[in-house]
Structure 1
Amino acid sequence: MEKKFDRQFLQIDFYSKHDYMMPFVGDYYEQKSHKKLLLLGESHYLPKKTSVCFDEKEWYDKKIDLKGEDYNYCNTRNTWVGGASPFHHNVRESLNFIFKCNDPWQHVAFFNYFLRPAPKGKEFKVGKKDAELAVKNLIQVVDILIPDRIVFLSKKAAESAEGNYPSLKLGYKDFWNWAESKKIEYCYTNHPSRSWDSLMPVKYWRDKWHLRPKDLSARNFFNDWLATRL
Structure 2
Amino acid sequence: MAVTEPKKNHYSDTFDEGFSTVPHYLAYPRMRPFVGCRYAGAKARILLVGESHYLPKNQTLHLDAQRWYQGQEGDFRPGQGLGWIHTREILNKSTGEWRKQGHAIYRNLDRALYEAGFQSGDSALEHIAFMNGFQRPARERLSLEVAPEDIEVGRETLAAVIDILRPDGVIFVSRKAARHLSGELKVPHGSVPHPASAWWNRASRRGTGKTSLFSKCPGFVPVRRAHEL
On whether the aligned pair clears a TM of 0.5, the verdict is yes
Q: 2:86 aligns with which of 54, 75, 79?
A: 75
Aligned pairs for 1:150-161 within 5 A: 150-161=170-181
Counterpart Cα distance in 1 of 2:41 and 2:112: 19
**What is the root-mean-square deviation in Å for CA atoms of aligned residues?**
1.9
Q: 2:201 aligns with which of 197, 203, 208?
A: 197
Q: Structure 1-normalised TM-score?
A: 0.80
State the partner residue of 2:45: 36
What is the aligned-residue identity percentage? 28
Aligned counterparts of 1:199 and 1:41: Cα–Cα separation in 2: 21
Cα displacement string for residues 109-128 of structure 1 (whole angstroms, at most 9, x for unaligned residues):
11111000001011211000
2:174·2:193 contact (CA, 8 Å) conserved in 1?
A: yes
Matched to 2:220, the amino acid is R
Distance 1:220 1:227, change over 3 A: farther
Contact 2:175 2:194 in 1 (8 A): yes
- What is aligned with 2:130? 110
After superposition, residues 4-153 of structure 1 pair within 5 angstroms as: 4-32=14-42, 34-50=43-59, 52-65=61-74, 66=76, 67-68=78-79, 70-82=81-93, 83-84=98-99, 85-98=103-116, 99-102=118-121, 103-153=123-173
Residue aligning to 1:169: none
- Deviation, structure 1 residue 51: 5.0
Mapped partners of 2:177, 2:32: distance in 1 = 18
- Give the total of aligned pairs: 199
SS in 1 for 2:89: helix
Question: For residues 123 and 161 of structure 1, what CA distance do their matches in structure 2 show?
Answer: 16
Structure 1 unaligned segments of length 5 or more: list them: 163-173, 203-212
Give deviations 1:126-155, integer Å, cap 9, x for gaps.
Answer: 000101110111001100000001110000
**TM-score, reference length from structure 2:** 0.80
Three-state SS of the structure 1 residue aligned to 2:92 is: helix
